[in-house]
Amino acid sequence: MPGRGGDNGAGPGRGRVDLALLHYPVVNRQGETIGSAVTNLDLHDLARAARTFGVERVYVVTPYVDQQELFREILDHWLTGPGGARNENRREALSLVRICADLDEAVARATGRQGRCPLLLSTCAKEAGPVWPYAQVRRRIRAGESFLLLFGTAWGLAPRVLERADGLLPPIRGAGDYNHLSVRSAAAIVMDRLLGDDREAI
């Protein structure tokens, strides 16, 4: 069932924001539901952007055991191995990452840590549901509501994920018809719009 922020109250100050990167269920070019492979670059860049903008957790979602093991090897290198000893900033960013077998686990972990079920907001390159303007979500975060932002790999989130979400963030549009941002680029733009410096225009 969808995550409901409700009126439980988050106390004074900004609400909590987490991010989930789904490798399943996502779609391919033909719109078929598939699972995608993990990439080292996504893991690093998402973690660094999340740490920069104050996102509290990055949940990497994949049901594939071999992919989970690969992620753990990468994280171990940077959190407890030689990578972290050489680059403390990278270790700090990657400490936000958690590996989950499915979206249910990510929602449960976010709920347990936040103390309530967060609202689920999906992302898509096209409008595929009730759109929540960035300014509205930004205000709700500042009012104390908590969110889990859902990003898809491959060609985007599967329809059942979009249907499960409480709302959809507006597509990111560029200067022309070309619209093929990497997920890490799109996520950084979304985080800036929702959590960036007040002095910057939205």
* pTM confidence score: 0.90
Element (H, E) at 34: strand 33-34
Domains of the chain: 17-172+180-194 (3.40.1280.10)
Summarize pLDDT for 156-189 with one digit per residue, the tens: 999 999 999 999 999 998 898 888 899 999 999 9
β-strand partners of 99 = 60
Summarize pLDDT for 117-138 with one digit per residue, the tens: 999 999 987 776 689 999 999 9
pLDDT of residue 200: 54
**Tokens for 190?**
């979304």
Percent of the chain with pLDDT strictly greater than 70: 91
Average pLDDT over residues 46-72: 97
Contact at 8 Å (CB) between 9 and 115?
no
Summarize pLDDT for 25-46 with one digit per residue, the tens: 999 999 999 999 989 999 999 9
pLDDT of residue 6: 34
pLDDT of residue 9: 36
Cis peptide before 25 (omega within 30 of 0): yes
* Band of residue 53 on the pLDDT scale cut at 50, 70, 90: very high
> Between 5 and 191, whose confidence is greater?
191
Contact at 8 Å (CB) between 24 and 30?
no
* Band of residue 197 on the pLDDT scale cut at 50, 70, 90: confident
pLDDT of residue 39: 93
**CA angle, 135 then 127 then 43, to 5°:** 75
* Band of residue 13 on the pLDDT scale cut at 50, 70, 90: low
Say what angle helices 40-53 and 183-195 make with each other, to 10 degrees.
Answer: 10
> Between 10 and 200, whose confidence is greater?
200
